[in-house]
Amino acid sequence: MKVMVRKNAEGVFSVYVPKKDLEERIVSSERPSLFGGTVTLGNGMVLELPEIPQGQGLPLTVEARKVSG
């Protein structure tokens, strides 16, 4: 599914899922860079984000895979 990863002014990362009109805060991530591993959202959903080149700016739309939730 396509998702947009954002970072707000306070430095909090969130994921927006357009098809579900859902925006949730990222509460934990497998990797410090977020990408190339799984992230857990505030509602319990777990997504696997693809690896991206270092230094890519946000917001960024990526193809994520829903693992659970």
* Model pLDDT for residues 19-35, shown as the tens digit of each residue: 999 999 999 999 988 89
Candidates 54, 37, 24; CA nearest to 15 is 24
CA distance 37 to 24: 17
- pLDDT above 70 covers a percentage of the chain that reads 100
Proportion of the chain in helix, strand, coil states, percent, rounded to 5: 5, 50, 45
Q: What is the mean pLDDT of residues 5-15?
A: 94
The structural domains of the chain, ordered by start, are 2-68 (2.40.50.240)
Residue 56 has pLDDT above 90, yes or no: no
pLDDT confidence of residue 50: 97
Q: What is the mean pLDDT of the chain?
A: 94
pTM score:
0.91
